[in-house]
């Protein structure tokens, strides 16, 4: 049986951050998340076949937001929320010079990622920041496994190209 309070507490922040990929309307995201959990609760008896409930939540939220756009003519702005990006280092273990160097690298990488398409940004965030497996990414993004692999490959090639081009300058 699903512990809804624990599941909600565990996933709410990441679901909200995921919702910001589609819209900056914070209230709409909150409403959609609430709708997803209400639907999950009302259909809890039918969900025994769901293997990964978190992936189910992401897919349900994406579908719910898409439904809102279809019904309410909101504008999808694909705003990137960098608030959930984890730092690349533990500041207590490095001296100030090392921290500044790492911060510069982090800022450069963030700028490179901003040069990617929204879908490439999303796959990088899901895989590297949220540490999702390819199977979960397939469900979240609504594309097949090979498309996820191809998109990841193209994203990494683009990042390498941007890094090499800027090192040559």
Work out the pLDDT band at 79, boundaries 50, 70, 90: very low
Residue with the two structure tokens 């996820």: 148
pLDDT digits (tens, 9 = 90+) for 52-72: 888 888 888 998 988 888 887
% of the chain residues with pLDDT over 90: 34
Tell me the longest C-alpha to C-alpha distance in the chain: 60
The C-alpha atoms of residue 4 and residue 63 are separated, in whole angstroms, by 20
Domains by residue range for the chain, with CATH: 4-72 (1.10.1740), 85-168 (1.10.10.10)
**Radius of gyration in angstroms for the set of CA atoms belonging to the chain, rounded to a whole number:** 18
In the chain, alpha helices (H) = 4-19, 26-42, 53-72, 96-114, 118-124, 134-141, 145-168
Q: 142 or 83: which carries more pLDDT confidence?
A: 142
Distances (CA, A) of 155 to 39, 118, 158: 35, 11, 5
| 27 pLDDT higher than 60 | yes
Sign of CA dihedral 59, 4, 50, 128: positive
CB 48 within 8 A of CB 11: no
User: Between 26-42 and 53-72, two packed helices, what is the crossing angle to 10 degrees?
Assistant: 120
pLDDT digits (tens, 9 = 90+) for 82-134: 444 444 444 444 456 666 777 788 888 888 999 999 999 999 999 988 888 99
- 79 phi-psi bin (left φ>0, alpha ψ -120 to 50, beta other): beta
DSSP-derived secondary structure letter, 76: P
Q: Region 134-142: what's the mean pLDDT?
A: 92
Report pLDDT for 92: 45
Classify residue 36 as exposed, middle or buried by CB count within 10 Å of its CB (0-12, 13-18, 19+).
buried
């Amino acid at each position: 049986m699903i512990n809804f309070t624990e599941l909600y507490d565990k996933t709410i922040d990441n679901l909200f951050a995921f919702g910001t990929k589609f819209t900056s309307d914070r209230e709409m995201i909150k409403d959609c998340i609430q709708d997803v959990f209400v639907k999950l609760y009302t259909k809890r008896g039918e969900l025994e076949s769901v293997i990964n409930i978190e992936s189910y939540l992401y897919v349900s939220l994406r579908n719910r937001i898409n439904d809102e756009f279809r019904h309410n003519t909101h504008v999808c702005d694909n705003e990137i929320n960098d608030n959930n990006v984890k730092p690349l280092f533990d500041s207590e273990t490095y001296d100030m010079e090392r921290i500044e160097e790492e911060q510069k690298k982090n800022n450069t990488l963030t700028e490179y990622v901003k040069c990617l398409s929204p879908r490439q940004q999303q796959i990088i965030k899901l895989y590297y920041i949220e540490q999702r497996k390819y199977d979960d990414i397939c469900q979240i993004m609504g594309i097949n496994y090979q498309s996820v692999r191809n998109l990841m490959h193209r994203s990494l090639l683009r990042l390498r190209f941007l890094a090499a081009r800027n090192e040559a300058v």
